[in-house]
């Protein structure tokens, strides 16, 4: 069996999603998502009715929470997109303009190649990381766990 790397990251808007304060973020989504789709090692990303995931509800009790999930061939491919793709970096540098700081906002985990994770699966990975710290079940770029043996 071969493995791919899944990731989820969540963010809580400071202002409601449709507030003009979030216009730059919302305007950048289509372009940054297109860059991800074309990036080496990209496999899949979570998409709602609007072509991104902002209309999906990761937590019914928190209307300002949004999620981004994707699957990549390996850590190197995801790391290159997250930390080296200039348009993605530009958005990341401004995240404090739009989002509250959160202690647990992302998780990485290995999935069998071909598996498409659900939003509830991703949210469970963040909860697992918050409850147990980094493990083979859920980890971060700072606490990488190798893929299971083939």
Domain of residue 101, CATH code:
3.30.70.100
Does residue 82 belong to any structural domain of this protein? yes
**Mean pLDDT across 6-20:** 97
55 to each of 102, 113, 117, how far by Cα in Å?
Answer: 20, 27, 17
User: What DSSP letter does each residue of 62-74 carry, written as one string?
Assistant: -TTEEEEEEEESS
Does residue 150 belong to any structural domain of this protein? no
Strand-by-strand arrangement of the 65-72 sheet = 42-45, 65-72, 3-12, 106-112
Does residue 149 belong to any structural domain of this protein? no
Q: What are phi and psi of 126, to 5 degrees?
A: -65, -45
| Structural domain span for residue 74 | 3-143
- pLDDT tops 90 at residue 33: yes
Does residue 95 belong to any structural domain of this protein? yes
> How high does pLDDT run on average in the chain?
97
Does residue 132 belong to any structural domain of this protein? yes
Q: What is the pLDDT of residues 78-135, one digit of tens each?
A: 999 999 999 999 999 999 999 999 999 999 999 999 999 999 999 999 999 999 999 9
Q: How many domains does the chain have?
A: 1
Find residue 106's DSSP bridge partners.
9
């Amino acid at each position: 069996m071969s493995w791919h790397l899944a990731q989820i990251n969540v963010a809580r808007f400071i202002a409601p999603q449709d507030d003009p304060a979030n216009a730059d973020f919302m305007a950048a989504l289509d372009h940054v998502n297109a860059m991800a789709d074309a990036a080496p090692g990209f496999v899949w990303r979570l998409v709602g009715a609007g072509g991104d995931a902002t209309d999906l509800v990761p937590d019914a009790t928190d209307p300002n929470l949004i999620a981004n999930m994707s699957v990549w061939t390996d850590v190197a491919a995801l790391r290159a997109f997250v930390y080296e793709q200039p348009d993605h970096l530009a958005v990341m540098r401004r995240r404090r303009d739009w989002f509250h700081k959160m202690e647990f906002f992302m998780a990485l985990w290995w999935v069998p190649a071909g598996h498409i994770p659900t939003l509830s699966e991703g949210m469970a990975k963040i909860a697992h990381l918050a409850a147990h710290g980094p493990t083979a079940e859920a980890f971060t770029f700072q606490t990488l766990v190798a893929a299971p043996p083939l």
